[in-house]
Amino acid sequence: MFGFQSQYIETGCVCLNKTGENICGDFFRLFENQEKKVFVLSDGLGSGVKANILSTLTATILGTMLSHNIPLDQCVGTVAASLPMCRIRKLAYSTFTVLQIDRNVAHLVQYDNPSAILLRKGKRLTYDVQVRIVGEKEIHESRVPLQDDDIIVLMTDGVTNSGMGKLAENGWGLHELSEFLERLETDKMSAARIAARIAKGCEALNENSFDDDTSVLVVKIRNRQVVNMMVGPPENQNEDDRIMNLFFAKNGIRVVCGGTTANAVSRYLNKPLRLLQNSGDGKIPYMSQLEGVEYVTEGILTLKNVLEHCTAFLEDPMVLLELCGKTDAAAQLAVLLLERATDINIYFGMAANTAHEGKDIDFEAKLSLIKELEECLIRLHKHTKISFC
């Protein structure tokens, strides 16, 4: 939670392995308590398993201690004692960027990673930096009061070195990256899509061959967006009107899934259902239009594909860019849940469809599917609630 109840701290992170490595040497983790959130992005020396261990230890030590309100100097001192300088290469075993958000203030602690970029109203904002020596490490520290829609971009040097010796002689510097971000309509993008767009740029500059692990973390302060989904009619037909009244009394974007449910809503609103052209792809049934409802889709087949898209996103956030270019119902609904939704209320009707009995899409399958979707959305840090009716 950020500031007022209407605010939400949204995150998007993409970590790309050095070409030829099976594991990323960068590591990101979020820690939180009742007072604040602590984001740590760490870059281990070298690549592969050793680098991953070093970055994981660094992020875990810093995040755990800071989230327990241990003073910064002690936290950094512990990391310095645990992971000293490499005597031969004279480099830190692990660099890091820490972003703490407490109420409406961002506290940045940066060590040898590229400087974080802060965007406000679509433009890069210059912020003050204090330089301190802690445990023989030069720490850059900043405190920035945050405003609605602020965007903070953290990265490892794989981002700023992208294209070096290939398509960008001096890499993708902070100035060039800032200009790239200023050209995007970041106010209309989720943190996840901004991170994916940056990663896609790194991919292009590197000609799809990475000389280093490359990671970007985007944090966005945004308004909450509630999505209310009705999936299936109530078990008791006498409850139809009561559930409809509850559903339409809620603020937010409305989604209705399933033909039987859509017809019931159509009768309740006394509005006609109309087929929405160009919303199917041969595999996913078409969507419908219904005044008073933003999305009307078929039921279990569409939701099954939505779950597949969301699961794929957990494995690879870059798939969001592909989804945003699709027009079928499953892709549109997945983008709504991944990009726009912060709070998702699912009204799950317990009525069994006799036409589905004995098939792969019977009631038990639908119930299992909706629970899997709930679990996936919770893993995506969406505030998700199912109401059975």
Whether residue 341 is found in the same domain as residue 200: no
Domain annotation covers residue 1: no
Domain annotation covers residue 370: yes
What confidence tier does 1 reach under pLDDT thresholds 50, 70, 90?
A: very low
Q: What is the DSSP letter of 232?
A: S
Q: Return d(Cα 17, Cα 274) in angstroms, integer.
A: 47
Token output for 5: 């109840």
Whether residue 160 is found in the same domain as residue 309: no
Q: What is the DSSP string of 135-157?
A: TTEEEEEEEEE--TT-EEEEE-H
Q: Return d(Cα 256, Cα 377) in angstroms, integer.
A: 18
What confidence tier does 92 reach under pLDDT thresholds 50, 70, 90?
A: low
Instruction: Give yes or no for residue 80 having a pLDDT over 60.
Output: yes
Domain annotation covers residue 263: yes
Whether residue 171 is found in the same domain as residue 286: no
C-beta of residue 177 within 8 angstroms of C-beta of residue 159: yes
Tell me the helix, strand and coil percentages in the chain, rounded to 5. 35, 30, 35
Q: Shortest CA distance to 12 belongs to which of 212, 108, 177, 154? A: 154
Whether residue 347 is found in the same domain as residue 258: yes
Domain annotation covers residue 217: yes
Task: Look at strands 137-145 and 274-276 and give their pairing.
Answer: unpaired
CATH number of the domain where residue 118 is located: 3.60.40.10
Whether residue 139 is found in the same domain as residue 240: no
Task: Look at strands 293-297 and 253-257 and give their pairing.
Answer: parallel
Give the mean model confidence (pLDDT) for residues 332-357.
86
Whether residue 321 is found in the same domain as residue 270: yes
The residue ranking higher by pLDDT, 92 or 223, is: 223
Domain annotation covers residue 33: yes
Burial 155-175 (b: 16+ CB within 10 A, else e): bbbbbbbbbbeeebeebbebe
Average pLDDT, the chain: 91
**∠ CA 186-158-142 to the nearest 5 degrees?**
65
Q: What is the DSSP letter of 85?
A: B
Whether residue 180 is found in the same domain as residue 289: no
Token output for 103: 């109420």
Domain annotation covers residue 187: yes
Whether residue 259 is found in the same domain as residue 358: yes
Give the mean model confidence (pLDDT) for residues 247-254.
96
Query: Which of 193, 223, 253 lies at the terminal end of a domain, its last residue?
Result: 223
Give the mean model confidence (pLDDT) for residues 23-45.
94
Token output for 87: 């005597």
Token output for 316: 């690879």
What is the reported pTM?
0.92
Task: Taking the CA atoms of 210, 215, 221 and 227 in sequence, report the sign of the dihedral they define.
Answer: positive
Query: Which of 188, 223, 258 lies at the terminal end of a domain, its last residue?
Result: 223
Whether residue 366 is found in the same domain as residue 336: yes
Q: Residue type at 383? A: H
Whether residue 322 is found in the same domain as residue 280: yes
Give the mean model confidence (pLDDT) for residues 289-298.
96
Which percentage of the chain shows pLDDT scores above 90?
78
Where does residue 96 rank: exposed (0-12), middle (13-18), buried (19+ CB within 10 A)?
buried
C-beta of residue 215 within 8 angstroms of C-beta of residue 16: yes
C-beta of residue 180 within 8 angstroms of C-beta of residue 201: yes
pLDDT, tens only, 100-130:
999 889 999 999 999 999 999 999 999 999 9
Least confident of 145-154, 248-257, 262-271, 274-283: 274-283
Task: Give the position of tokens 């549109």.
Answer: 332
Range of the domain at 250: 226-388
Which stretches of the chain are assigned E, i.e. beta strand?
Answer: 7-16, 26-32, 36-44, 94-102, 105-111, 117-120, 123-124, 130-134, 137-145, 151-155, 214-223, 226-231, 253-257, 274-276, 287-290, 293-297, 343-348, 383-388
Whether residue 129 is found in the same domain as residue 92: yes
Q: Shortest CA distance to 44 belongs to which of 28, 32, 63? A: 28
Query: Which of 171, 189, 223 lies at the terminal end of a domain, its last residue?
Result: 223
Q: Given this model, what pLDDT does residue 134 score?
A: 85
Total tally of structural domains belonging to the chain: 2
Domain annotation covers residue 337: yes
Domain annotation covers residue 2: no
Whether residue 182 is found in the same domain as residue 234: no
Q: Return d(Cα 82, Cα 317) in angstroms, integer.
A: 32
Instruction: Give yes or no for residue 81 having a pLDDT over 80.
Output: no
